[in-house]
Every structure is written in structure tokens, then in C-alpha cells.
Amino acid sequence: MTAVAATPPTPDASLPAPWHGEVEDRLETGEAPLAWVELDLDERLRFAPGLLVLTPRRLLAVAAGGESWHSWALDPGQALELSDHGGVGALELRDADARIAGWRFTLGQHAAAQRLVDRFERLGVRGAPADAVSVATCPQCHALLPAPGAPCPHCMRQATEAEAAGESEEPASTWTLLRLWRFAHPYRRRLLAGFLLTLASTAATLVPPYMTMPLMDDVLIPFQNGKPIDPALVAAYLGGLLGAALLAWVLGWARTYILALVSERLGADLRTATYEHLLGLSLEYFGGKRTGDLMARIGSETDRLNLFLSLHLLDFATDVLMIAMTAAILVSIDPWLAVVTLLPLPFIAWLIHLVRDRLRHGFEKADRIWSEVTNVLADTIPGIRVVKAFAQESREAARFRAANEHNLAVNDRVNRVWSLFSPSVTLATEVGLLVVWAFGIWQVSRSSITVGVLTAFLAYIGRFYTRLDSMSRIVSHTQKAAAGAKRIFDILDHVSSVPEPAQPVHLPRVDGRIELRNVGFRYGNRAVIRGIDLDIAPGEMIGLVGHSGSGKSTLVNLICRFYDVSEGSILVDGVDVRSLSNAEYRRHIGLVLQEPFLFFGTIAENIAYGKPGASREEIVAAARAAHAHEFILRLPHGYDSLVGERGQALSGGERQRISIARALLIDPRILILDEATSAVDTATEKEIQKALDNLVQGRTTIAIAHRLSTLRKAHRLVVLDRGQVVEVGPHDELMACEGAYYRLYQAQQRRAEADRLEEGAGGRGAEVETGRAAIAPAIAGGAKQA
Amino acid sequence: MSRQPQDAGARPQGDAALATIAPPGFTLARDRFGRLLVRLPDGTTHVGAVAVRAFPISAPGESVSLLDSEGHELVWIARLADLPEATRVVLEEELARREFMPEIRAIASVSGFVTPCTWEVATDRGPTRFVLPGEEAIRRLSPSALLIADSHGIHYLLRDIAALDRNSRKLLDRFL
């Protein structure tokens, strides 16, 4: 878009290809398109291609087929309005009295439409062809570009992200397991050693059946025919049997130990890598996933993989080796009998393959249902107060029972196939043995083999077939493991939507100037923030005001870069936050939330959370400034008291002051207070307010408060409504102009007045002001009745 | 880092108060009821003051605070060792009277490995027995230190697992 203003007025080369010629035909000489939108919906919201072009003089539009071009001459009284709802964008051209025309499109075209509106507005305001834009921005998302004409790193990333997301939709394939090699690579030497040991120990276990052959033919049968037993020979054979057993024991121990060691480490690496990757993902990812599911993935899935690698895969490898070796031995003894013995093998292989597909889907489904069961738990247990308050225990129990029954049903279906599987293999084994017996007896009767050979064969295939049975189980194990691996790699493959820049800009010192440039953010297809422009000076305190859902918290999340903007850019000290290293940038931000989160640990550890190396003096100083010092000393173990889940119970105000101390300790240049005093009563609020006043000094502060009185120190107030800035200015100024802020303030004054009256009547009216606390209405209601 | 100037700004009232009552600036005494008397340099005397360690587990020798009967801080003592001998003795006496966190030196026996179970232990305050309500009552403070809360909420400190004898370690290991 920036190129248009700079180049001579020729039709822009990047007009969409199918329209190129047609648009050119319609244009008058010297008329160049400034911006355009490819329309993909018609007025009745059916898919139909179209084009809307803006030139310095008029708007040109064509619907599907291109027969009916319409043109509207531009007029200073006109306005072009962009809106969207539920994934459909709408552009409307209107003048002072009426709507002139309207166009619809899907949100894919939203950025182009925004661009067209910008152009249009610039034309209208200045009454002259658009001026050159001083800063190069991306035509797609309005992000600042590293250089004019350079590809937008933001958009490119989104494209690759979409690709990655597409990949993960595929079903789990056994090949997913091969990707584990990345984690196995560091242990390849030990793996090789384990493999060689497996080879040797398997060979050792194959010696005893071989020994039965001479025992039978040279000792037992001659004895039956009247020859005495030679004790030395028997001793030699039995000694050989014992030796082989001992050798197999030692080798088996060594191999199991080494391989279990490796697989345990592999599992640990996998868990750590997954968790580390998970922590790097944006809040957007966590918002879309359930805690129970993520916990199951990192916990039990890695464990299952671990078990698979150390036990099932090892057994399988041993079995394959054993079968190969046994087959070789059998063929070397008697090729014909060997052929008969090995005959059922292809049949069993076919059976395994048949069940494989059914089982795979079954197990994947069972897994998903299982996480549904845990999700119910993860939902209910943290929210137990709400459950009990609304007496919904039986409903939650029913929900759990339903999930559990669903789990049963799915598992029943899987088990039906699976349970048939093992007996079938056993049956095939028995039939196989029968064939060998029959063929063997016939061969012995013809004297082509000795009884010893037949016993050896039976001893071998006895083992052989039992192994086939256990081998068949590898199918389900592999499928389960592959499904687990896929779920883990889903996390590992997920690219963070707030990625680290390739070449981060380093800001050793931050002054705290924040500039928002045409910032837009959409969550799914809902625009939460639209076109916000705001400059915040270093050290300034800004109060964000608005109804809930007006986008205050989202705006703060964008400034913290928990999410990335969908449009526009956020600059800190003139640098786009997307080009800063996340961890480095956030070190400059202090965050105090409505619901302070304390980790399990001591108070000192919690205060020092953002600066683990802090000295005790620093911790105490921060606690003093946060007005937390004295209540901490009153706890039984002072700063060493354990808090957080399973720890000392602290009140909301106390927790809040600890979280303020935490923010103070890292001494951030930018401070964000997200409803920091909303969850406490008015008396505690005063304590916290004193602590906050210490915190705010000299820092760029963005405060969100439901109670407008807490923003009395703010230099400027920004009033948000439905994702847009409606008013900006100091309290007095906004009150004087009697706009949105005035109305909000009046409403709150009235309510505070009503509360005071109620408080006089004995109710705990102050609670009502914490509009977000779910229980407040109930208390207020109770107070009224009383 | 450019942390200095902000740190100064971050502790306003606290700092002012601290400067005037540096360790030797106050006197400690005990009245006839055995209550602690704190006389501050500004001439005020506070009766019934309470001495509290800020870090009783991680740094017992540092950071003691004297609170008045309302729970407001009177004096902050960064290091006990910096105090004059007489004051320190009074203070340590007071702390010893108030604090009760026996240190486990050895575990003689446990009644079972399923909680709740009764432990017979030797502590720095003599042998005792207590009921461990559940495994979660054993908290790891550091790789070598544990804090064990009994069914009455009394905390027993185990400063160094490695320093225990073999039998104690074996018993303890079943619970970790």
C-alpha cells in the first residue's frame, strides 16, 4: 500500500489477477486504484466473487460475473463504515441522510477492507490524493515492517503456524514413534550395547532346547533299547544346560538394566522438553486447552511411552530375534519339518494386521474419553465452592458418571475386538503344534528324523509360539504408544503464537514509553479490540475504564505480549514488542492481578519469584513497601511460612500485598494493575491502595479498575467501549464534558450511595462493589431481605 | 542494573523509621510481670512487646523484629550478633520462650507406615511422640531439610536428613 502513493498513477501491478484487465478498462486516464477489497460474499451472504476498488475520485464495485459495474463519485459528506459480526465483515457507504451502498466479505479480507477505509478517510479529510505514509507497515496486518517492501515477519509466521496446525490433524501413525529418535540420540551408545546384549542373551536361551536333541537320541532312547547310561555324558549335557541358563540370566539382567536405564532417561527428557515447550507457548494456547488434558499429556502419556520403550518394545525386539534365530536353527536341523512349523506364521501376521486398524482408532478414542473423565475432575475440584454454593453436587456427579459411562462404552467396544485377538492367536498356535506333531510322527515312522529331533522341534516351537502370542500384544502397545507420542508431539510441534524474534532487539534500559498504533485484536472471529491509538509517556499513570467486556484486560494482555496483536503494533520506547525477546521484555513489566496467585512455597520465595537471587534485605524492603511486612511477622514462621495451595491460608488482601511486593522487588519500569483492588473489601482496599501508591511512583502504570475511585491518581483516563477508545483525558476534563466517563462515574456514585444506606441497615454493602465476585449479589440480596 | 534509585523510593516510611532505631538505639527490659519493655530513642516505652524472627527456619540468627502488642513493628534488628550483650540475652530469652519448633535429632520408631501413625522421636528438647496425620504433613524445605507438622499443628524441624542415623533415615525414607 505504501508503494501506491510513491509510484506514478498507473494501475497497481498487484491488483488481483482476474480483475486486472477489467479494472483498467473502467478507469479514466490518470485515475489509479488506491485500494481494493476482493469481495467474496454478496448482499445475501452467498459466496460470490466481487471487487471493490477505491480511486482518488470514486468507488467502483462489481459483483459476480463482472457484468454490472457500479460507480459512486466520492463526496466530502460521505462516510465509509467497517464492521464485522460473526466472521462476516461489512462495509457501508453512507452520506448524511442515507445508506448509499454496502458490501459483504469474509474476515480473510478484513485487513484489505481496513486499508480501503483508511485510504478513504485520508482522501475525505485532506481532500487530496493520499500522501505517502512515513512508516512502512504490512498491508495484511498493519505490523511495522523492518524495511519498506520487506516481507512481514508476522504474517509469514502465521502462515507457517497454520501449516503446523494442519499437520497435527492427521491420525496417529506408528511412524510417530520414530520421531522419538530425537530424544534417543544422546543415548545411542548405550542403546547399541543393549541391543548386542539382547542378541547374546536371546542366543543363550536357545541353547537348552538344542541340548534336548542329543540327550534324547544319545542317552534316553539307547537306554530304552537296553544300553546303560553314561554318567559323564549326561553330566556334560546337564552342565551345558545349566551353563546356558546361567549365561542367559546374566545377559538378560544386563540388557534389561541398561535398556530400562536408557528408557527412563528418555522419558524424563521427553517430559522436561514438553513442559519447557509448553511454558513457552502463549496464553492463547492455554486458554484453548484444559488443564486436565495438558497434565495428562505430560504426566501419563510420557509414562506410557516410557513403559512401552522399556518393556514392550524390548520384548518385541527379543521376540523377533528369537524367531529369526529359531527359524535358522530349525532349518539347519531339518528343512522340511521347519517349513511345516513356520507355516502358521504368515497366517498370524495377517490376523495381526487385520485387527491393527480397528484397535488403533479404538485406543485413540479411549484416550480422548479418558481425558474427558479427568477434565471433569479438573473442572469441578477447583470450582468446588461454586458447586456447593449452588448445590449442584448431584449434577457434577452425574456429569462424572456420564463421562465414566462413555469411557466404559468406548472401552467395551475396543475390548470386544481386542479380547478376540489373544484367543485367536492361541488357537492358531495349538493348531500349528498339532500339524507339527502329525508331520513329525509321520516323519519318525518313515525314519527320516529321530525322536530327538522331533522333541527339539517341539521344545523350540513351544517357546516360539508363546512368543508369537505375546508379540501380538505389541500391536496394541504400539498403537497406544503411538497415540501417546502423537499427543506429546502435538505440543512440541505447536509454534508459540508469540514467538521469540530471530534477531531480538535488546533494550538494556526501558524508559517506559508505550505507543499503540492502530491496534486490533480478534479472538476467533470476534473483534475484541479495534483500531486503538494511544501514546503513554514514561512515568505516566493511565487508568483504563469501561464496562466489563470492553477490552480492558485484553489490551493489557497485548501490552504484556501474552497475545500478539492481530493488526497494528505496540511499541515500547519506539521498538515493536514483537522484536524484543519475551523474557527480557517482561522483566521490565510488573503485573498485579485481581486474583493474586501464590505458588506453594515460603512467603520469601513467593516475593522473590521474579528475582530468585534476591537477598533477605531486599525481600523485607519490598514487603515493607507493600505494607505486608507486619502481617507476615504475625504468621507463625514469618517469612518462612508456607503459603499457596496446601499452605497457610491468607486473606485476599494479604495475598494481594504479597503479589505487590513481588512486583516491587523486580522494580519494573512498566506496571500493570489489573483490577488489583477489586476482590477485597473497602477497608483492605485502603491498605492495598497505600501499597500501590508506593508501587506506582515513577513508573509507567496502566491500571484497570472497576471502582473509579481507585484511579484518582491517574494522569489520564482512557474510556473503552466495545474494544474502542471513546474518551481520553484527566478526570476533571472528562467529567466536564459529560460523556461516557461521566455516566459511568454517576452510575457508580449512585450505587455507592445505595450501598452506604444498606450498610447502615446492617448489610455488608461494600461487597457489592466487587461486581465480579460471584457471591456478591447473593449477599446483597440477603442484606435486603434482612 | 539501574536498580538503586528505585529501591530507595520503594521503601518510604519503613526506611525513615529504621534509620532512627538502629540496633543500639533502643533498650530492652523486662517488667515485674515478665513482660518485655521496649524503650525507643524517641522516649516512648512499649509494654508487652513481642519478639519475632522473620526467617525462623532459613536464617534464625538474622532479622528479628520487635512488635508492639498491636502487631505494629517497633524495631527491626538485622543481625542479633550486632546487639549489645545484655540486650541480646534478654531478646534470646524471649525468643526461646515464645518459639516452639523442636528439632528432630533421631527417629526411634514409627507405629506403622500407613498414616496416621505415631512417631517416637528424639528432639533437641527431649524425647517425645506425635501423630503424623498424613504424608502431606511432611514438607520439604530444601533438599536436606524437612518440616513435619503433627496432628496438633506443632511443627518439628528436621534440619539435615543426612545427619540422621541409619535407622532413622530408613524409617523416614518410607514416608518420602
Q: What is the pLDDT of residues A70-91, one digit of tens each?
A: 888 888 788 888 887 777 788 8
Helix then strand then coil, % of chain B, to nearest 5: 30, 35, 35
User: How far apart are the C-alpha atoms of A767 and A780, rounded to whole Å?
Assistant: 8
Residue A13: its pLDDT value, please? 47
- Chain B residue with minimal CA distance to A696? B10
Neighboring chain B residues of A639 at a CB cutoff of 8 Å: 54-55, 58, 63
Q: What is the CA radius of gyration of chain B?
A: 20
ipTM of the complex: 0.77
| B63 contacts A616? CB cut-off 8 A | yes
Interchain CB distance below 8 Å, A620 and B63: yes
What mean pLDDT comes out for the span A137-153?
51
**Of A437, A450, A462, whose CA–CA distance to A214 is shortest?**
A450
Residue A406 has pLDDT above 50, yes or no: yes
Topology of domain A2-136, per CATH? Answer: PH-domain like (2.30.29)
Average pLDDT over chain B reads 79
Same domain, B94 and B39: yes
Do B12 and B62 share a domain, yes or no?
A: yes
Q: Is the pLDDT of residue A136 over 70?
A: no
A695 CB neighbours in chain B (<8 A) are 10
Query: Touching check for A634 and chain B: CB below 8 Å?
Result: yes
Give B173 to chain A, closest Cα distance, Å: 22
CA distance A97 to chain B (A): 58
**B67 and B13 both lie in a single domain:** yes
Distance of CA A596 to the CA centre of its chain: 23
R_g of chain A computed on alpha carbons: 37
Residues B74 and B143 in one domain: no
Is there a single domain that holds both residue B9 and residue B89? yes
On the question of pLDDT at A250 being above 90, the answer is: yes
Binned at pLDDT 50, 70 and 90, residue A143 comes out as low
pLDDT (tens digit per residue) in B1-32: 333 333 333 333 433 334 334 455 788 888 88
With bands split at pLDDT 50, 70 and 90, how would you rate the model's confidence at A154? Answer: low
Please classify residue A191 by burial: count the beta carbons closer than 10 Å to its beta carbon, then call 0-12 exposed, 13-18 middle and 19+ buried.
middle
Residues written for chain A: 786
pLDDT on residue B24 = 58
Secondary structure of residue A646 in the 3-state scheme? coil
Domains of chain A, by residue range, sit at 2-136, 181-493, 514-588+668-785
Question: Which residues, numbered 53 to 82 in chain A, qualify as contacts with chain B under a Cβ-Cβ cut-off of 8 Å?
Answer: none
Residue A622: which of B10, B12, B56 has the nearest Cβ? B10
Q: What is the pLDDT of residues A732-755, one digit of tens each?
A: 888 888 888 888 888 888 887 777
B11 and B48 assigned to the same domain: yes
Report pLDDT for A768: 38
Lowest-pLDDT choice from A253-257, A490-494, A524-528, B117-121? A524-528
Q: Examine the domain organization and report whether B84 and B111 are in the same domain.
A: no
In a shared domain, residues B165 and B121: yes
High-pLDDT (> 70) share of chain A, %: 85
Test B54 with A638 for CB contact under 8 angstroms: yes
pTM here is 0.65
Residue A135 is predicted with a pLDDT of: 46
Preceding peptide of B116 cis, ω within 30°: yes
- Alpha carbon distance A133, A125 (integer Å): 15
* pLDDT greater than 70 at residue A337: yes
Same fold, A181-493 and A514-588+668-785: no
Alpha-helix residue ranges (DSSP H) falling in A51-175: 110-126, 153-167
**A132, β-bridge pairs:** none
pLDDT of A127 = 42
Q: Return the pLDDT at B97.
A: 78
Task: Say whether B55 and A639 touch across the interface (CB within 8 A).
Answer: yes
- Asked if B63 lies within 8 A of A694 by C-beta distance, the reply is no
In this prediction, residue A168 has a pLDDT band, given cuts at 50, 70 and 90, of: very low
Instruction: Name the residue type at position A60.
Output: L
Q: Which residues, including other chains, have CB under 8 Å from residue A297's CB and lie 6 or more apart?
A: A274, A487, A488, A490, A491
Distance CA A642, CA A704 (A): 30
Q: Which residues of A touch B72 (CB under 8 A)?
A: 630
The tally of domains found in chain B comes to 2
Give the model's pLDDT for residue A767: 40
Which chain A residues are closer than 8 Å to B53 by Cβ? 638
Alpha carbon distance B74, B39 (integer Å): 10
Which chain A residues are closer than 8 Å to B136 by Cβ? 646
Confidence of residue A567 (pLDDT cuts 50, 70, 90): confident
Check pLDDT > 50 for residue A780.
no
- pLDDT score of A619: 92
More confident residue, B17 or A575: A575
Whether residue B25 is found in the same domain as residue B91: yes
Please name the member of A621, A630, A646 whose beta carbon is closest to the beta carbon of B11: A621
Say if the Cβ atoms of B67 and A637 lie within 8 Å.
no
User: A538 vs chain B: nearest CA distance in angstroms?
Assistant: 15
Place of cell 504424608: B135
Q: What pLDDT score was predicted for residue B172?
A: 87
Least confident of A52-56, A121-125, A189-193, A778-782: A778-782
For B168, the domain range is: 104-173
- Give residue A253's pLDDT: 92
- Asked whether residue B75 falls in the same domain as residue B123, the answer is no
Q: No. of H helices and E strands in chain B?
A: 4, 12
DSSP-derived letter for residue A392 is: -
- The amino acid at residue A330 is L
What is the third-level CATH fold of A181-493? ABC transporter transmembrane region fold (1.20.1560)
Residue B149 and residue B64 share a domain? no
Measured between CA atoms, how close is A622 to chain B, in angstroms? 7
Condensed to tens digits (0 to 9), the pLDDT of residues B102-126 reads: 889 999 988 888 878 899 999 888 8
The CATH number that domain A514-588+668-785 falls under is 3.40.50.300
Residue finishing a domain among B98, B117, B133: B98
Which H helix or E strand runs over A335? helix A335-342
Give the count of Cβ contacts less than 8 A between chain A and B: 78
Residues B86 and B167 in one domain: no
Residue A584: what pLDDT?
83
Q: What is the mean pLDDT of residues B162-167?
A: 89
